[in-house]
A = this chain, B = another copy of it.
Amino acid sequence: MEGTPQRPSHTAELLQDILERARQLPDEGRCADYIPALAKVNPDYLGIAVAELDGRVHIAGDAQVPFSIQSISKIFGLVLAMERVGEPLWQRVRMEPSGQAFNSIMQLEWEHGIPRNPFINAGAIVVADALVSHFSASRSALIQFIRQLANNPLIHADDEVWESERVHGNRNAALAYLMKSFDNIQSEVPAVLDHYFYQCAISMSCVDLAQSLSFLANKGVRGGSSDVVCDQRSAHRVNALLSTSGMYDQSGEFAFTVGLPAKSGVGGGLVAVVPDYGVICAWSPRLNSYGNSHRSMFMVTTLAEELGLSVYN
């Protein structure tokens, strides 16, 4: 793997130490169980990776084991849609933090089918619709985009998870049809959901995720390269959205405690962007009541403290 150091670096030792401390935490929480395919994942997986901007990658634990990235996929979909659709995208989805989960449907109704931001499900479904409407083969376009970013041609969606999402996706269907009733979905709802569930079912490792998102820490340029993924303004915007809305109803607390743009997924993954430094990705499947991984949060929080990383000083 590109960039993996030959010998344990100082950072790698630090990661190993933090990983061990995370392992000692009580076994609170459990895997997401709304779909069988996630519920059966071994809850004791534990991994962390850091991709620095010079291309170096530091790892500890199960950092190379692929897992279901779930909501973290919303970043990839968003960046691709921002690049292709441009400013008109923001007529269809806002950029404001949302309140809590309970009123997501009501908020959508109140705001005439315009979701609060692209990281709540309704917003990500609008983004999916933008991709489905723009590309003749949106799923293929997205997976190619991700493979390039991660420099890993093997990344793919897990068919079992994909199918499982579909079967248990009635709430997302409700959101999509409600937005359709407000004319904020252009393609047919089943096609849009198909893309959305596909993207949630993509499997990547901590290393894949940290490397693929390094452009967010680097003004839009892929870490260790000169590849422009997006312009600086777009990278800034995604980071801003991650800061206010990336961690479900714990986004404010995460900003309060850690102070880094971050995104979690119910597969237990957590990526955090450190501008001018790199990207951290942690993984542990046990979730807290907000749907965020206990141990992933612990590892990212601890690493940020140890290295003095925070955008808020």
Contacts and interface: CB of A to CB of B under 8 A. Distances in A.
Size category of the binding interface on chain A: 35 or more
A74 to B, nearest CB: 15
Contacts of A259: 236, 239-240
A100 interface: yes
Interface in A218-262: 219, 232, 235-237, 239-241, 243-245, 249-253, 255-256, 259, 261
A311 interface: yes
A70 interface: no
Nearest to A175: B174
A187 interface: no
Q: Is the interface of A mostly helix, strand, loop or mixed?
A: helix
A96 B219 contact: no
A37 interface: no
Interface string A274-305: 01100000000000000000000000000000
A170 to B, nearest CB: 4
Contacts of A175: 174
B312 A251 contact: no
Given A103-B103, A275-B313, 5 more contacts: A103-B106, A105-B109, A105-B178, A171-B177, A173-B180
